Structure 1
Amino acid sequence: MSAQNTPESGNLLKSFQPYKEKKGEEYMNDRQIEHFIQILLNWKKELMEEVDRTVGHMKDEAANFPDPADRASQEEEFSLELRTRDRERKLIKKIEQTLNRLDEGDYGYCDSCGVEIGIRRLEARPTATLCIDCKTLAEIKEKQLGH
């Protein structure tokens, strides 16, 4: 199984090109919005292709091994793949929610304080809803509460 090629896993999408801002350009203008729509749609497409590959792999590889160790090994492999696909399914849902935010004009602004999240942070984490300061503060609070 190949590593995911997504912004949040540390890899860039195959077709990713960093956004080049023009001097004096307005934040979240039409060009920037289109840039992030393409990132999100490409990312979703790659995740969906991975789901299809997993289904095909599990159908092709499913075998009823007489040896309990072989059967357990295969079940563990399938279980790991299914957990990965479940995380990706949740990520696809988050991508769809982010696309809705883009449609509604809420994308790119912190849910907590309302400041601009920033182009580079959004390229690194396209589904981000908090600016780096609010995210850092939330993580500190989370550690203090032991969650």
Structure 2
Amino acid sequence: MNSAEMEHFRQLILQRLGDLAAQSAAGQDAQSVVELDQQAVGRLSRMDALQNQAMAKAQQVRRDTEIHRLQTALARMDEDEFGYCEDCGEEIAHGRLELDLAASKCVSCASG
């Protein structure tokens, strides 16, 4: 992979990390504690709020996982290992990297 391609992927990763940070900031309110004020909110509405809170927390876990994977991809870039399969050492197809910027295995190794 040449330096222009590497920079292209670096910019895509940094852009995605920025998007994830913005989504995390926007989702903070949805993860807050649900108040137990039955006078202001009915029982079903409170159950909906609890369900929405649980979904927001699950989304944050998924975002955190993706952030970790992307940061690992940046570290592989710094070590000149980005774009190469961590199992067999072959180059990972650019199309695969475009779909999953944090891919660390080629299609053959990933499929088992």
Q: TM-score, normalised by structure 1?
A: 0.69
For residues 3 and 79 of structure 2, the distance between their equivalents in structure 1, rounded to whole angstroms, comes to 13
Hey, what does 2:28 align to over in structure 1? 55
Is 1:110 paired with 2:110? no
Q: TM-score, normalised by structure 2?
A: 0.89
Hey, what does 1:78 align to over in structure 2? 53
Are the aligned partners of 2:86 and 2:105 in contact in 1 as well (CA < 8 Å)?
yes
For residues 31 and 66 of structure 2, the distance between their equivalents in structure 1, rounded to whole angstroms, comes to 21
Number of equivalences: 109
Structure 1 stretches of 4+ with a deviation exceeding 2 A read 56-59, 62-65
Are the aligned partners of 2:31 and 2:53 in contact in 1 as well (CA < 8 Å)?
yes
- After superposition, residues 119-134 of structure 1 pair within 5 angstroms as 119-134=94-109
- The residue type equivalent to 2:109 in the other structure is C
- Alpha-carbon distance, 1:65 to partner: 4.5
- Alpha-carbon distance, 1:56 to partner: 3.8
Secondary structure of 1:79's aligned partner: helix
Is 1:36 paired with 2:3? no
- The residue type equivalent to 1:113 in the other structure is C
Q: Flag structure 1 segments of 5+ consecutive residues without an equivalent.
A: 1-27, 138-147
Are the aligned partners of 2:69 and 2:102 in contact in 1 as well (CA < 8 Å)?
yes
- Alpha-carbon distance, 1:57 to partner: 4.6
Identity of aligned residues (%): 26
For residues 86 and 103 of structure 1, the distance between their equivalents in structure 2, rounded to whole angstroms, comes to 26
Q: Flag structure 2 segments of 5+ consecutive residues without an equivalent.
A: none
